[in-house]
Amino acid sequence: ALNLSAYIAPCVLCFLYALRALKFKKEDKEYIKIMVDIPAAFALRGIVGWILSFVFELAILLYINLNFGADITFIVVTSLASTIFVSLLAFTLIFFTLETLNRNVVLPSLYPDGNISGSERMSISSIKSLFLFYFFSASLFPAVFLGARLFFTRFYHIEFPKHYDFCFAGILLAIGFVLTILIYGYFQKPLKKLTASAQEISRGNYGAKTLICSNDEMGALGDSFNAMAASLKEKEFMRDTFGKIVTPQIRDYLLTKNVALGGETLDVTVMFCDIRGFTTLSENMPPEKIVSLLNEYFTGLEKCVAARGGVINKYIGDAIMVLFGAPIPSQTHAQDALMAALDMRTALAEMNKSWAARGLPEIHFGIGIHSGPVLAGNIGAANRMEYTVIGDTVNTASRIEGLCKTCQKDLLISQSAAGLIQAQEAQNQNGSQAQEAAAALPPLQFVADSEIRGRKERVRLYTAS
């Protein structure tokens, strides 16, 4: 009957504990707390049964001692030692068995997204308490064995055979080994999950998640890891989207530099490219076809610009403003601009052939190139800014492009840009790749000394075939 009470009482207490969950919904914090704490709560109630069994037994022994004068010391010590031993063993087995089932089966089925680490928990459910339990169990088991042995030897002169010591040592080692394996398994599986997810994220798979259904520090680590992965995924999406709104070079510059108003002075080459007769073209085509044509046109030009290290800084209607030497400085920005312009000319010829085959009109453009100092940086309001360049160099490049129609040329290059191109060409001829670099650059041809609105001096203009 005493042993039966050790099983009946815990079952009743555990049943009453589980009934509490019926009062709440699955989403309620109290429900989560009840479900997460089941291993610790059931394990503690399991100990209660053995304690009650010992109390009942002690009461009976005291009754016998008081009424019959029998010596009960030996039985009490034996019962106490066995109660402590069995209670610790029961707690260990119940807790780790239910914790394994709870983490791997019950909680994942109830909360497939995890994220339960924020709920309240019993203090015994923390990693600190787990290691304290491990320490006391590893030290208390030997203490119970040795204490009982010394007591029986000293007061009852019971001599234990020598092989008992080896048996006790073997039992203690086995208990220590089992506890170590249980603690190892408690951490090993979630850590393997975290490692696998971390490796997936390192490969760029920001959708990787780690499901650790626990409200201890390990569960908090898993939820924090998932939040980090979601944040990285969102930032990667924003980065990709940002790279479609501005060029990847400017995107990377803004993401790695301090985004504040202001700028720096840089020597760059600015290119403007504008479609000739776009107004007439747009009047004779439906808007959706105009948009499709422009997208195809700009895509072709962007490839040429990017291949030469340039950056399309602005789309101004049917025109583009291109930077060479900003935001990433370059020593060959003028030469790169000329090569990009020649590539754009070739690309436009190919696109015109394709459009003609589809019954679409041809497009003609004018390109103006000018080199000089600019102020480059984040310009605008404190809460709305853009990376761009400003200065006389920009205005002059725009006005040179406007002279293409007057000069009947599709490409005009200022004296300052031409000087840099020729200087770079001379430097290339002295370098190890002289002949290849020189052969790639066509000779510049003088066009005119033209007046530029806003400038007192005439600007000498060149072109290239």
Predicted pLDDT at 117: 63
Mean pLDDT of the chain: 82
Domain-embedded: residue 426: yes
- Average pLDDT on 136-142 reads 71
Range from 113-122, 379-388, 393-402 carrying the lowest mean pLDDT: 113-122
The SS3 assignment for 368 reads strand
Whether residue 232 is found in the same domain as residue 325: no
* Res. 355: pLDDT tops 90: yes
> Which helix (H) or strand (E) element contains residue 59?
helix 38-68
Predicted pLDDT at 437: 45
- The larger pLDDT score, comparing residue 159 to residue 196, is at 196
The CA-CA-CA angle for residues 237, 239, 242, to 5°, reads: 105
Domain-embedded: residue 241: no
Q: Pick the closest to residue 146 from 178, 171, 174, 176 (CA basis).
A: 171
Residue type, 43: A
Predicted pLDDT at 347: 97
Q: What are the residues whose beta carbons fall under 8 Å from the beta carbon of 203, sequence distance 6 or more?
A: none
Tokens representing 125 are 């459910």
Domain-embedded: residue 432: yes
Domain endpoint, select from 236, 267, 290: 236
Neighbours of 153 (CB within 10 A): 12
Whether residue 72 is found in the same domain as residue 136: yes
Predicted pLDDT at 369: 98
CB 183 within 8 A of CB 130: yes
In angstroms, how far apart are the furthest CA atoms of the chain?
Answer: 132
Whether residue 278 is found in the same domain as residue 153: no
- The larger pLDDT score, comparing residue 249 to residue 408, is at 408
Predicted pLDDT at 106: 86
Full domain range(s) for residue 298: 247-464
- Average pLDDT on 431-437 reads 49
Domain-embedded: residue 33: yes
Between CA 411 and CA 344 the distance in angstroms is 11
- Average pLDDT on 152-176 reads 73
Predicted pLDDT at 301: 97
pTM of the model: 0.56
CB 58 within 8 A of CB 76: yes
Whether residue 191 is found in the same domain as residue 49: yes
Domain-embedded: residue 441: yes
Q: The CATH number of the domain where 294 resides is what?
A: 3.30.70.1230
Please write the tens of the pLDDT for every residue from 51-95.
Answer: 888 888 888 888 888 888 887 887 887 788 778 878 887 888 888
Whether residue 392 is found in the same domain as residue 252: yes
The SS3 assignment for 147 reads helix
Domain endpoint, select from 217, 236, 255: 236
Predicted pLDDT at 2: 57
Domain-embedded: residue 242: no
- Average pLDDT on 246-264 reads 64
Between CA 90 and CA 95 the distance in angstroms is 8
The CA-CA-CA angle for residues 94, 98, 104, to 5°, reads: 155
What proportion of the chain, given as a percentage, has pLDDT over 70?
A: 85
Please write the tens of the pLDDT for every residue from 24-53.
Answer: 888 788 888 888 888 888 888 888 888 888
For residue 393, what pLDDT band results from cuts at 50, 70 and 90?
A: very high
Burial of 326-365, coded b for 16+ CB within 10 Å and e otherwise, reads: bbeebebbbbbbbbbbbbbbebbeebbeebeeeebeebeb
Strand 384-390 relative to strand 411-414, pairing: unpaired
First to last CA, the chain: 108
Predicted pLDDT at 8: 82
Domain-embedded: residue 25: yes
For residue 435, what pLDDT band results from cuts at 50, 70 and 90?
A: very low
Tokens representing 324 are 């060479």
Domain endpoint, select from 200, 217, 236: 236
Judged on CB neighbours under 10 Å (0-12, 13-18, 19+), 70 is: exposed
Q: What are the residues whose beta carbons fall under 8 Å from the beta carbon of 443, sequence distance 6 or more?
A: 464
Predicted pLDDT at 321: 97
Whether residue 178 is found in the same domain as residue 321: no
For residue 416, what pLDDT band results from cuts at 50, 70 and 90?
A: very high
Please write the tens of the pLDDT for every residue from 294-348.
Answer: 999 999 999 999 999 999 999 998 999 999 998 888 999 999 999 999 999 999 9
Whether residue 58 is found in the same domain as residue 139: yes
Domain-embedded: residue 378: yes
Q: How many domains does the chain have?
A: 2
Predicted pLDDT at 261: 53
Predicted pLDDT at 300: 96
- DSSP 8-state code for residue 261: B
Predicted pLDDT at 256: 67
Whether residue 87 is found in the same domain as residue 124: yes
